[in-house]
Structure 1
Amino acid sequence: MRKLFLLAGAGLLLGISACTSGAVKPVPALPQPVSGERLELVSPEAGVLSYYVAGPDNGAADARPLLLIHSVNAAGSAYEMLPIHEHFRATRPVYSLDLPGFGLSERSDRVYTPRLMTDAVLAVTQAIRARHGGVAIDALALSLSAEFLARAASEQPEAYASLALVSPTGFSGRKPRHGEPGSVVGQSWLYRTLSWSAWDDGLYGLLTRPGTIRYFLERTWGSKAIDEGLWAYDQLTTQAAGAKHAPLYFVSAMLFSKDINTLYDRLRQPVWMSHGIRGDFVDYRGTAWYADRPNWQFTEFPTGALPQFEVPEQFLAAYARFLSGEQP
């Protein structure tokens, strides 16, 4: 549980800033986080979802679609996928998703669970495949969202040609999580405590100040050289209506799956797992659990938890090699 509180207070996840959220300040309309066309999907299970598609001018009708999924945090959005989205749009159709409770997707006051997030991934996957003749897609997820993608791929393996897990959760040096199917790490009492409305306005406003967001991003980077565009977008998205609802479940550990390593164990698609060695997210000793699996590849970058921003050329080249089927 101590690790979860660290996650809640550190850059990539920005979770502590979501512990309280009251009256929403007037802010400019949230702009689209990546280029291309904004699509909207109404899912019976996941609500209203926004996702964005861009591709090469020639159409590249035979190119395999790529789905990108951002991390879960108070400032989560498809903007975290920007370097990957803009690079691969030149050669293939790229789709970037705003998860439920984030970005321009529905942010209603409802129960947020791994099931809800997985259903969103599956719904968008189905929509993408329908647009491209039913082909299996490539998919990449960041941090905690790797757990949602792994669950989706274990449930519908035929839908995914490959999986990329960037700075994923579930790989710390502690014992693997093989809990009951669908169980979560969090405790309901913690959610009830954190959702107590008496402290919403003041604390949320304090923790989402520009300087505070910058502090958390610096901890994610392990450096002061953060991406300024991401910082600016984070300020907008943390002040949007309903911004607190989904992150509150994250801070309560209600979005962490107790059975995640069971799900990782089931993956049969080619899997690329990558991470950095700097900042608050550096414990990946659990990669040893999967090192002898022929369908898994691993890459370590000299960065924090967002290598796509720090070393984009190196990151994108490594991912492109994986997608092409090259061995490391």
Structure 2
Amino acid sequence: MEGQSLPAAFDAEEVPWALPSSPSVLCYHRPGSGPPLLLLHSMNAAASAFEVKPFFEDMALSMPLYAPDLPGFGRSERSDRVYSPEFYARVIIDMVETMDLGPVDVLALSTTSEFAARAALEAPELFRSLTLVSPTGFMRRRESRSRAPERVHRVLRLPLLGAGLFRVLRTKPSIRFFLDKAFAGGAPEDMVDYAWACAAQPGASYAPFYFLSTQFFAPDAVGDLYEPLRLPVQVLYDKDPNISFDYLDDVARDHDNWQLTRIPDTLGLPQFEAPAQTQAALESFLGQLS
């Protein structure tokens, strides 16, 4: 597996998965009782399962926890392939089928919320609920189904330009700058260090370049992904420096299966800034399902 020199994101059992969609996925696991919870990190230049570390270490959750490094990130395979919303939705479905534990609950961060919603629409029998943390797709923007993102991606893949850009993005000051936006008091130093190490792994730029060229975002996430969902959905949010939630209240008002929970004084990663409130909201939501 690529990235063997990268240490574990946190202390947990490490389970290697060989999926039909991706041959080498590293998943962190903690046993428990009840329906399992699949925890999905966000998309950025240095993403990894470290982003869900508080669910393992700072919360007293009783359910089984599964937290993969998604393909292209962390300690999972980072091959030079097409990374797309459809690919990640298939990976999520493959992971749930591999778990073979019946319908599961999924918690997804930011952009990965769109992938989780897509997976739940494609295979609704595999999913019991979705918890979306500061999800993308609710801000007012022009719908565009042009090929401009693909052209941007081709430019980013130019050897000199792309390599130079990623060298700048993966520097520790750059990583700290972007992570600090999600924390009122600055990002934890161990998070900055781990993200920096992630971005230095072989193949680290392949998936992020798809993210940077905006190919991970649905043109109309509300209409295509969120409104058609029929399973219970909870949104944990407050403020986010990178996105807004212009249409979120409208979706919740018009769909009884949606529940909004604000975690005050957080900036997109409430599991770090307010773990107790995040756990309480999560347990309350999942308890309603039982």
TM over 0.5: yes
Q: Secondary structure at the match of 2:182?
A: helix
Instruction: Name the residue aligned to 2:256.
Output: 294
Mapping of 1:239-278 within 5 angstroms?
A: 239-261=200-222, 262-277=224-239
Instruction: Name the residue aligned to 1:136.
Output: 103
The alignment covers a number of residue pairs equal to 284
**Residue-by-residue CA offset, 1:108-145 (whole Å, 9 max, x unaligned):** 111111111111111111111x2x3xx21111000000
Distance 1:272 1:101, change over 3 A: same
Deviation (angstroms), 1:291 = 2.1
* Alpha-carbon separation, structure 2, partners of 1:110 and 1:164: 29
Q: Secondary structure at the match of 2:66?
A: strand
Q: Secondary structure at the match of 1:324?
A: helix
Instruction: Name the residue aligned to 2:124.
Output: 157
Q: Secondary structure at the match of 1:153?
A: helix
* Alpha-carbon separation, structure 1, partners of 2:185 and 2:59: 28
Distance 1:189 1:202, change over 3 A: closer
Deviation (angstroms), 1:286 = 1.0
Q: Secondary structure at the match of 1:38?
A: strand
Deviation (angstroms), 1:71 = 0.3
Structure 1 unaligned blocks of 5 or more:
1-26
Distance 1:211 1:146, change over 3 A: same
Q: Secondary structure at the match of 1:53?
A: strand
Residue pair 1:194, 1:248 contacting (<8 A) in 2 also: yes
Q: Paired residue for 1:37, among 1, 9, 13?
A: 13
Deviation (angstroms), 1:255 = 1.3
TM-score, normalised by the number of residues in structure 1: 0.81
Deviation (angstroms), 1:37 = 1.8
Q: Paired residue for 1:232, among 185, 189, 193?
A: 193
TM-score, normalised by the number of residues in structure 2: 0.91
Higher RCO, 1 vs 2 (CA within 8 Å, ≥6 residues apart): 1
Deviation (angstroms), 1:281 = 3.1
* Alpha-carbon separation, structure 2, partners of 1:299 and 1:253: 27
Deviation (angstroms), 1:225 = 2.5
Mapping of 1:13-52 within 5 angstroms?
A: 29-52=5-28
* Alpha-carbon separation, structure 2, partners of 1:81 and 1:225: 17
Instruction: Name the residue aligned to 2:138.
Output: 171
Instruction: Name the residue aligned to 1:120.
Output: 91
Distance 1:205 1:118, change over 3 A: same
Q: Secondary structure at the match of 2:76?
A: coil
Residue pair 2:179, 2:186 contacting (<8 A) in 1 also: no
Greater Cα shift, 198-207 or 291-300? 198-207
Q: Secondary structure at the match of 1:148?
A: helix
Structure 2 unaligned blocks of 5 or more:
none
**Which residue type is aligned with residue 267 of structure 1?**
L
Distance 1:220 1:90, change over 3 A: closer
* Alpha-carbon separation, structure 1, partners of 2:146 and 2:115: 12
Distance 1:140 1:73, change over 3 A: same
Greater Cα shift, 69-78 or 43-52? 43-52
Q: Paired residue for 1:190, among 144, 152, 160?
A: 152
Moved over 6 A (4+): none
Instruction: Name the residue aligned to 2:278.
Output: 315
Instruction: Name the residue aligned to 2:50.
Output: 79
Residue pair 2:139, 2:247 contacting (<8 A) in 1 also: yes
Residue pair 2:13, 2:30 contacting (<8 A) in 1 also: yes
Residue pair 1:75, 1:234 contacting (<8 A) in 2 also: yes
* Alpha-carbon separation, structure 1, partners of 2:152 and 2:273: 35
Instruction: Name the residue aligned to 1:324.
Output: 287
Instruction: Name the residue aligned to 1:54.
Output: 30
Residue pair 1:185, 1:256 contacting (<8 A) in 2 also: no
* Alpha-carbon separation, structure 2, partners of 1:75 and 1:310: 20
Let me know the Cα RMSD of the aligned residues: 2.2
* Alpha-carbon separation, structure 1, partners of 2:270 and 2:147: 27
Mapping of 1:187-226 within 5 angstroms?
A: 187-221=149-183, 223-226=184-187
Deviation (angstroms), 1:189 = 1.0
**Which residue type is aligned with residue 11 of structure 2?**
S
* Alpha-carbon separation, structure 2, partners of 1:143 and 1:185: 23
* Alpha-carbon separation, structure 2, partners of 1:168 and 1:185: 24
